Structure 1
Amino acid sequence: MQLEITAEAFDGSITNLNIYIDNEAAESLTSPPYIYTLIGKSLEMGDHTIKVIATDDKSENSFDEIQISLSTTIKDADGNTYRTLKIGDQWWTAENLRTTKYNDGTPIPLKSSSSAWEASFAGAYCWYENDKNTYKDTYGALYNWYAVETEKLCPQGWHVPKNGEWLKLRNYLSANGHKDTEGNALKTTTGWYNDGNGTDDYSFSGIPSGYRNHKGTFGAGGAYADWWTSSEQISTSAWAIDLIYGQAGILQGGGYKECGYSVRCIKN
């Protein structure tokens, strides 16, 4: 990132400029020009406080303080780029995953036919309605839970959220002005069936990408958003998180491991 801080006195009386980032000294300038440029500094994603203290020739101080929030994009093994965003103290991808490879470069098997999908007891993916051209860039891919179970779906440094991490997000939204409307706060403002759109207050872009059931049948595009968690429910199913048109909250459910759901990633 690039951020330039300039201190200038009309009477030329500045003798020292000290810059602090998150209460730690970053730079001390003792001669003009009093310009500090933050380029390529190692700042992690998140909120940071930059404080600037200028000292004049009478040893009097004046200061200013700014808050910055750093976000970034990440890439998967296919080279697809994803926006990220911070909600509370969690960093999320703001788009559904659409990689066709695990993060070690291994291809994920594409299972298009219903019979092949139903018979898959290892990691697999597909596109909604088997229509890549229409749905890849909007809905992303649908993955069975066996792909999630590999722990290699998300880019390095990120992972498929556990059930508890999704519930932490729901609790944060509930406590910050969205009690009982947590789902609406995440839904996109367009694309939902029967005017069931949300407010997308955090740019999470919860799009109704539908699902593929364990028999290989597609459904609910435009009406449901179903995301896998990495948490197993019982031997045949795993926890999932749902947004549904006509319902304002975030629902917690489960699905057979052979089902195809969307995936979001959360930062380690």
Structure 2
Amino acid sequence: MPSADSSVTLVPPCRDSCEYGTLFDDRDGKTYKTVKIGTQWWMAENLNLYMDEFSNEPFDGQSGCLFDNPAYCDEYGYGRYYLWSMAMDSAAFFSDDGKGCGSGVVCNPQKNSRVQGLCPAGWHLPSADEWNILYLATGERAEHLRASHDWQYYPNGPSVFSICDIYGFGALPGNEDRTRVNFLTSYEIDEKYSAGVSISYSGMRVYIDWDYKSYGFIRCIKD
């Protein structure tokens, strides 16, 4: 998976002084908080686009809400999780970048090209390399990206709060025991695997490695 890049500059912690913005998605009227970390602009919230609104056929099982509870997608601010093929916009609703991508096939998006996927216009599904740049820029520590709340087994006492979420990224847990979250990338490995990003409550590293073309959350990055 991505190798260390010595040209990436460490970004000083900026939780209270980061450069924040907003992203308005005119497809469904939602507005997302964004944050600039180093040279990258990231969504500081998970994508929450409900694809059934754009098709006459329901996408049963291809996206969902934590605990199968719509409140987690909306009121609680977790956004939706998506199957990798949907995240890539394999049906080409918004662009042809990831057309035909999915499990059992190799669509071979170019490594350095941008795949819009389900992201709003002007933003794209991050590559594994773009996630690696974020990881390196934020000090190679998972807790620097992890939200300081909602992690079931993470103590979040005063002694550790100061190193949680120090860049305003606010990664929330994405599984039912609230110990881990998986994010999707546009990087395809073969017909079965793509690169996935995993952040856990107990791990110090952000893991960027092979994963099945399965489910995860989406953080879009600006073109």
* TM-score normalised per structure 2: 0.70
Which residue identity does 1:267 align to in structure 2?
K
Determine the structure 1 residue equivalent to 2:147. 188
1:1-268 pair list within 5 angstroms: 71-76=20-25, 77-101=27-51, 106-107=54-55, 109-111=58-60, 117=61, 124-136=62-74, 137-150=76-89, 151-174=116-139, 179=140, 182-195=141-154, 197=156, 199-210=164-175, 220-257=176-213, 259-268=214-223
Change (3 A) 1:168 1:134: closer
CA contact (8 A) 2:51 2:59 kept: no
Report the structure, 1 or 2, having the larger strand content: 1
Cα deviation 1:165-184 (Å, max 9, x = unaligned): 0001111122xxxx4xx210
Q: Distance in 1 between matches of 2:198 and 2:180?
A: 7
Q: Distance in 2 between matches of 1:221 and 1:92?
A: 26
Cα deviation 1:41-95 (Å, max 9, x = unaligned): xxxxxxxxxxxxxxxxxxxxxxxxxxx9864211222111100000010000000
Aligned CA-pair RMSD: 2.3
Cα deviation 1:82-140 (Å, max 9, x = unaligned): 000000100000000111149xx8348442xxxxx3xxxxxx31112221124434221
Determine the structure 2 residue equivalent to 1:213. none
Which residue identity does 2:88 align to in structure 1?
E
**Which sections of structure 2, spanning at least 5 residues, go unmatched?**
1-16, 90-115, 157-162
Match of 2:211, SS state, is strand
Paired residues, what number?
172
Determine the structure 1 residue equivalent to 2:92. none
How many percent identity over aligned positions? 28
Q: Distance in 2 between matches of 1:203 and 1:106?
A: 31
Match of 2:149, SS state, is coil
Cα displacement (A) at 1:248: 1.6
Bigger RCO of structures 1 and 2 (CA < 8 A, at least 6 apart): 2
Change (3 A) 1:135 1:71: closer
Q: Distance in 1 between matches of 2:210 and 2:155?
A: 23
Cα displacement (A) at 1:260: 1.8
CA contact (8 A) 2:18 2:167 kept: no
**Which sections of structure 1, spanning at least 5 residues, go unmatched?**
1-67, 112-116, 118-123, 211-219
CA contact (8 A) 1:187 1:200 kept: yes
Change (3 A) 1:253 1:134: same
CA contact (8 A) 2:44 2:170 kept: yes
Cα deviation 1:169-212 (Å, max 9, x = unaligned): 111122xxxx4xx21000011111212556110110110022xx
Cα deviation 1:138-180 (Å, max 9, x = unaligned): 2210100101222330111000100000001111122xxxx4x
Match of 2:29, SS state, is coil
Q: Considering only CA atoms, is the larger Rg found in Structure 1 or Structure 2?
A: 1
Which residue identity does 1:130 align to in structure 2?
D
Match of 1:95, SS state, is coil
Which residue identity does 1:129 align to in structure 2?
F
Match of 2:54, SS state, is coil
